[in-house]
Amino acid sequence: IIANQPSVMAGALDINASNTAARFIRFCNAFNIPLVTFVDVPGFMPGVEQEYGGIIRHGAKLLFAYSAATVPKITVILRKSYGGAYLAMCGKDLDADRVFAWPTAEIAVMGAEGAAEIVFRKEIAEAADPAKRRDELIKEYRDTFSNPYVAAEMRLVDSVIEPKHTRRHIAQALEYLRIKRVPRPHKKHGLMPL
């Protein structure tokens, strides 16, 4: 099980988290252990320290580990999954075998509050009641772009499931994928980002 911890750094991926998860994923893949990923991630950790430390390179290790893994990969999006971290946490585009989302999940480029403030900055500033207009635009953004049903329509999510049925869906997916075989071309090894 790979999961974000929202009570620590809001669940953001930093250099250490990326390296730790990448190593664990490669270990599981080496011993044919299926991967179940629980996602609640606002993105990669911003900041000068992370940038100078090479967050992009270390984040690429996480992407590489998931993409190289041939074991069953199941992802459950619990709450938020924004930007590149959606992909890094084994989104559908990274060949996850099954991606489930809870009805409360938000899957988007960025959070609704930040997006509304950036995209609709001028409209909010010119409104008679800026706070009310901001709240309306945030709701509109959530309804239009970041809800899991929109993601399901775009095939980024296989199913939107009720939280109480999560265990059942994971068990069914694992049962279905237990005979998964991924034919690989003959090669010596992949090119892991270092």
Distance CA 191, CA 194 (A): 9
pLDDT tens for each residue of 91-129: 998 889 999 999 999 998 888 888 888 888 888 888 888
Q: Which CATH class name applies to 2-105+147-177?
A: alpha beta
The total number of residues written for the chain in this structure: 194
153-167 tens-digit pLDDT: 999 999 999 999 999
Identify the residue whose tokens are 């999940």. Answer: 105
Q: Place 172 in a pLDDT band, splitting at 50, 70 and 90.
A: very high
Closest by CA to 25, choosing from 59, 71, 80, is 71
pLDDT tens, residue by residue, 128-140: 888 888 898 888 8
DSSP 143: I
- Residue 173, pLDDT score: 97
Confidence of residue 189 (pLDDT cuts 50, 70, 90): low
Confidence category of residue 194, pLDDT binned at 50, 70, 90: low
pLDDT score of 90: 92
- Would you state the pLDDT for residue 120? 86
pLDDT-derived band at 18 (thresholds 50, 70, 90) equals very high
Segments making up each domain of the chain, as ranges: 2-105+147-177, 111-146
Position 183 scores a pLDDT of 74
Residue spans of alpha helices (H) in 31-160: 48-53, 55-68, 83-88, 112-119, 121-126, 130-141, 148-153
Encode pLDDT of 29-82 as tens digits.
999 999 999 999 988 888 888 888 888 889 899 999 999 999 999 999 999 998
The single-letter code of the amino acid at 87 is L
Distances (CA, A) of 159 to 19, 100, 168: 29, 5, 13
* Contacts for 19 with CB less than 8 Å, ≥ 6 apart: 58, 61
CB atoms within 10 A of CB 145: 16
Task: Calculate Rg over the CA atoms of the chain.
Answer: 18
Find the mean pLDDT for residues 7-15.
88
Task: Tell me: pLDDT of 187 over 90.
Answer: no
